[in-house]
A and B are shown apart, each in its own frame.
Chain A
């Protein structure tokens, strides 16, 4: 019975979301759906980065690099298999199937990249991860700009426009369910223990290096998913889309929303995306504002707006329902 309930909790969001998204998609104007997909991509990025930076207490600042790995891999798959039609299936359906494969391959490639970066780095203290991910972002850019297959600096254009509100929305559901189920599992507890005190966690028998690497790989895979979704909306992939600025955007979303808070990340990602969309004119001030926001936030409210709490812990009317002392 318990098992069935848990399975239902993982599956139900998908079953509910699919028809809702289908319905919503038909009623959105093209600009609104563009912004909605942008928000969805940023939510996936923020929630997945939260797995490393928030749950596990490590600090990665190279999320855009994994996004790039996923995006380029998926782009190669969709452009390579574009002409391929599965016999006996309508073209639209086979296109969608190819896109699904592309997303999966993109996630896989990004997680392999995460493994390569994570294994040597995460054996040490968290500070090293920050600097290595920073360097990794730079290396990925250099590699892309020097590889002919990846279109060098101009990138690959003319990708099929596969991403729509349904795909992006299902990506969000997948990410959020993953993060939420992870947080409530034994494995999630291990991650939280590492965040709170790595030495104590190790003393309690938690395989700290193993769990840090796993969290990092999961996070990288979902960054790859976000990248693959994004480039199949704008039908173009260039190295300039995945710079430090993008990584920092995601870091700001996670820090702003509260490290360890899933709903905090979602709200911060949505708010920040809309703010950036409306403040296009002030583009050159974007990074200055982000960095000041980071400094001020750390000096005044170092745990972010929500801290590790979820949004329903903060809203007073909902909090009363929860018995005092109950674990979040």
Chain B
């Protein structure tokens, strides 16, 4: 029983993360009918910007609550800006083209972020460029050398993992006769829950939420009714990216290893969660995330732990076979 409860605790803590990321997928799919492949990479960029901000503020030596909040807000801003830029420059120009074109661009953006972050740092790249030029017998002018020295030596981070500094000291409690729960689990659950409630409020109780649901229902009619469709879509991307940033920081707090492809697997799994709950459906994404987190934890706990990554795809195949519209989704008929 204790073991089971422990798995429930771990599963819920993992599931809230998936739910937060899945919300980004599901909202974007709702308004654009596009699988935003780059969403998992926004999550990765958010983790790295949190890392850079935390390093700049010196969180490792002297963690305070104020600094933790600053890291949180800073990386939410960066992720939001990135989400906005991706939509504005990569997706919007293709809005009226066949959907395949946007899908390919989305994959391109995703790989650009993943592999761009794996490049050696800008300074190292400048140095190797100088080497090449010298090899051709050119002399490198002094100003160029100064410019290269001024370039950041830690960005892009390269393929080796970094370790996220602890924002506050970890405290483990033992409750119910043997179930371990840490303050990280509690904080992460509360923060995730607060953000999900906030989103629920935005989508169902505000004017913007109503506009978003209208665009999701039919963008052309929504436009004719005077809804600024472009602005609604941009804001949706920003909202989704901010939630991905929250998820990234909550993960980085308790599992501090971050690397440029850290977004790939959570991104795919969160997509599965979104499909499971019914893609385009906000409560569905939360439910799907929780179920997926629990399922993964149970499978890893009671069978072989290397099946962990497989369960998400097994669920996906099963959902696609049995109930493609997802748990809470409505059956839609494709019309001309």
Contact = CB atoms under 8 A, between A and B. Distances in A.
Interface of A: 57, 59, 61, 120-121, 123-128, 130-132, 134-136, 138-139, 142, 146, 198-200, 244, 248, 251, 255, 259, 284-285, 287-288, 290-295, 298-299, 302
A199 B271 CA distance: 26
The secondary structure that dominates the A interface is helix
A199 B115 CA distance: 37
B199 interface: no
B309 A299 contact: no
B57 interface: no
B90 interface: yes
A284 B99 contact: no
B320 interface: yes
B119 A284 contact: yes
Contact of A287 (B35, B93, B104, B111): B111
A135 B104 contact: no
Contacts of B98: 302
B306 A142 contact: yes
The secondary structure that dominates the B interface is helix
Given A290-B111, A291-B116, 17 more contacts: A59-B103, A59-B104, A121-B317, A124-B324, A127-B103, A130-B107, A131-B268, A134-B268, A138-B309, A244-B111, A251-B104, A284-B119, A284-B120, A294-B105, A295-B90, A298-B105, A299-B90
B296 to A, nearest CB: 14
Contacts of A134: 268
A127 B279 CA distance: 12
Contact of B309 (A57, A127, A142, A244): A142
A300 B204 CA distance: 38
A285 B317 CA distance: 34
Contacts of B313: 132, 135-136, 139
Given A135-B268, A288-B119, A302-B97, A128 B320 contact: yes
A231 B309 CA distance: 28
6 contacts: A138-B309, A142-B310, A290-B111, A291-B116, A294-B105, A294-B107
A120 B321 CA distance: 5
B70 interface: no
Interface in B186-226: none
Contacts of A248: 111
Contacts, number: 110
A293 B112 CA distance: 10
Interface in B278-336: 306, 309-310, 312-313, 316-317, 320-321, 324, 334-336
A135 B112 contact: no
A138 B336 CA distance: 35
Contact of A59 (B100, B275, B306, B324): B100
B85 interface: no
B5 interface: no
Contacts of B265: 138
Contacts of A123: 320, 324
B320 A57 contact: no
A299 B320 contact: no
Contacts of A302: 94, 97-98, 101
Contacts of B268: 131, 134-135, 138
Nearest to B90: A295
Given A130-B35, A291-B108, A291-B115, A299 B94 contact: yes
A291 B109 CA distance: 7
Nearest to B101: A302
Contacts of B312: 135
Nearest to B113: A291
A142 to B, nearest CB: 6
A150 to B, nearest CB: 15
Contacts of B111: 244, 248, 287, 290-291, 294
Contact of A294 (B93, B108, B120): B108
Interface residues of B, number: 44
A198 B335 CA distance: 10
A131 B118 contact: no
A288 B320 contact: no
Contacts of A124: 320, 324
Nearest to A300: B93
Contacts of A198: 334
B335 A120 contact: no
Contacts of A128: 275, 320
B112 A295 contact: yes
Interface in B27-77: 34-35, 37
B119 A61 contact: no
Contacts of A298: 94, 101-102, 104-105, 108
B183 to A, nearest CB: 33
Contacts of B97: 302
A199 B335 contact: yes
A292 B112 contact: yes
A85 to B, nearest CB: 40
Nearest to B109: A295
B149 to A, nearest CB: 22
A255 B320 contact: no
4 residue pairs, one from A and one from B, having the closest CB atoms: A294-B108, A287-B115, A291-B111, A291-B112
A251 B103 CA distance: 12
B157 to A, nearest CB: 14
B277 to A, nearest CB: 15
Contacts of B114: 287
B120 to A, nearest CB: 7
B105 A127 contact: no
A101 B275 CA distance: 41
A244 B37 CA distance: 14
Contact of A295 (B105, B309, B324): B105
A209 to B, nearest CB: 12
